[in-house]
C-alpha cells in the first residue's frame, strides 16, 4: 500500500487510503482530509483546492483531472 496516489486513479487511491487509515486508527476528520489531500498528485490537489460545496467542479476541471490520472 502507498500513501501517495502515484499513477493510480483518485478512486483507486481513495480505496487504498481508507484501508490505510483503518490500520492506522485515524479518526479525526480534519487529519484525514489533510492526509488524503497531501497524498494526491499535485495537479489533482490544485483542482481539489479550488472546489467548494457551493461551487462544484466544471466539466473542464473534471476532464482535466481525469486526463491527469491516465
User: Is there a contact between 10 and 29 (Cβ–Cβ < 8 Å)?
Assistant: no
Domain assignment present for 45: yes
Give the chain's domain count.
1
pLDDT at 11: 86
For the chain, what is the total number of helices (H) and then of strands (E)?
Answer: 4, 0
Q: How many CB atoms lie within 10 A of CB 5?
A: 22
Predicted TM-score of the model (pTM): 0.66
Domain assignment present for 21: yes
* Cell 497531501, located at residue: 38
* pLDDT tens digits, 33-51: 888 889 999 988 888 887 7
Query: Which structural domain range is residue 44 located in?
Result: 10-69
Rounded Cα–Cα distance for residues 41 and 38 (Å): 8
Amino acid at each position: 500500500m502507498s500513501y501517495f496516489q502515484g499513477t493510480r486513479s483518485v478512486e483507486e487511491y481513495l480505496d487504498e487510503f481508507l484501508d490505510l487509515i483503518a490500520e492506522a486508527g485515524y479518526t479525526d476528520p480534519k487529519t484525514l482530509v489533510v492526509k488524503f489531500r497531501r497524498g494526491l498528485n499535485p495537479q489533482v490537489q490544485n483542482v481539489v483546492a479550488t472546489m467548494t460545496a457551493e461551487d462544484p467542479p466544471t466539466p473542464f476541471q473534471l476532464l482535466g483531472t481525469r486526463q491527469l490520472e491516465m
